[in-house]
Amino acid sequence: MNKTNINYPHPVLCSANEDYIQSSFDIMLVGDPCIEESNTVINVTYSLSCEGLRNLITSGDAQVAIFLNSSVAEYRQMRAFDNDKTELRIEINRNDINRTLQVKGYIIAAKPIQSFSLAEHNKDFFGTVPFSLRKGDIMGIATHSFNIPLESYDPLADRPSIFSIRKQTQCPKEEVSSDFSGQKITIWLNEETHNKYRTLYVAPETRGVLSAFFAAPVLVDALYFIKNMSEDERIEYESKKWYQVINHRLQELKIDINTEVSMTKIANLILPRIFSSSVEALTKLFGETLLKGDEKDGEN
């Protein structure tokens, strides 16, 4: 989609201008967004009062599209309606978005249009001369847009959101290593350790402990990595989701990483009580064993 902040040379259906006569275009949310397993689900519909644009959509020359933008996570995507439908179900992996999701509606050219002239165009502004459109050119902007709050989803509370634990087989003696080059921080485990990890992960009560066990030390690594970045590295990593999320949390906590000595202390603030909560979880897991041990000590 060819986005621009300047005026368009061709007519654009929009409530902020008079390019079209007696025409309108808008999008609406159907119900409230909901969470289904690991996805955020949003249902959107649109209304269009313009026969000329409707015919172009039906023929496949134009399409109605939803532009999705999530700040901090730098998530930007476009989803298009089927040409014969006015409702769209959008599913987005919760790991890909953060804080607020902005939803905007557009009508765009689905292919080059050589003679773009509709009966609804304001002839006082544009006369009768047809326009040429490129694929992706904006033809309509919805009257309303939506900012959907996602405060209930914290990408660091759900620790796997910026961490990906994967198996590596190239260095079997190397039990664990980390890689910061992707959108997520990859924690590499050798085959033996990874298999044991997967076995333990089957039990829901162990998952928090396992996530903390791997996430905490790797987060400390990541914080040292950020602290010691060169300016070129900082520019390179600004587009990485894990960097954006951690950097945003540092700003929220008003932490200047360059003046801090202990990255472990910062990790415990970024992942609240990560160390003490792990101890609590382990205490619950091994509660019976500990109780039996106390009983034996009492007998002696």
pLDDT in tens, 144-178: 999 887 644 444 444 446 788 889 888 888 889 99
Which residue, 163, 128, 124, is CA-closest to 241?
A: 163
Model-level pTM?
A: 0.52
Give the pLDDT score at 149. 75
Distance CA 108, CA 121 (A): 16
pLDDT digits (tens, 9 = 90+) for 190-204: 999 888 888 887 776
CA dist list (Å): 292 to 77, 86, 239: 55, 63, 52
State both tokens at 274. Answer: 């990560």
Class of residue 258 by CB neighbours under 10 A (exposed 0-12, middle 13-18, buried 19+) = exposed
Check if the beta carbon of residue 184 is closer than 8 Å to that of residue 241: yes
What average pLDDT does the structure give for the chain? Answer: 83
Give the pLDDT score at 183. 86
State both tokens at 48. Answer: 């269009």
Residue 2 banded pLDDT, cuts 50, 70, 90: very low
Q: Where exactly are the structural domains of the chain?
A: 24-149, 159-299
pLDDT digits (tens, 9 = 90+) for 265-285: 888 888 766 677 677 777 777
Give the pLDDT score at 289. 60
CA dist list (Å): 177 to 120, 132, 151, 173, 182: 62, 54, 32, 11, 14
Residue showing tokens 């275009």: 25
Check if the beta carbon of residue 58 is closer than 8 Å to that of residue 74: no
Given CA atoms 293, 295, 297, 300 in this order, what sign does their dihedral have?
Answer: negative
Give the pLDDT score at 247. 87
Examine the pLDDT at 105 and tell me if it is beyond 90: yes
CA dist list (Å): 106 to 19, 68, 84, 202: 15, 11, 16, 44
Residue 205 banded pLDDT, cuts 50, 70, 90: low
Residue 226 banded pLDDT, cuts 50, 70, 90: very high
Check if the beta carbon of residue 102 is closer than 8 Å to that of residue 146: yes
What would be the CATH architecture of the domain defined by 24-149? Sandwich (2.60)
Distance CA 272, CA 253 (A): 11
Examine the pLDDT at 34 and tell me if it is beyond 60: yes
- What is the mean pLDDT of the segment spanning 11-19? 93
Distance CA 40, CA 4 (A): 29
Distance CA 125, CA 159 (A): 55
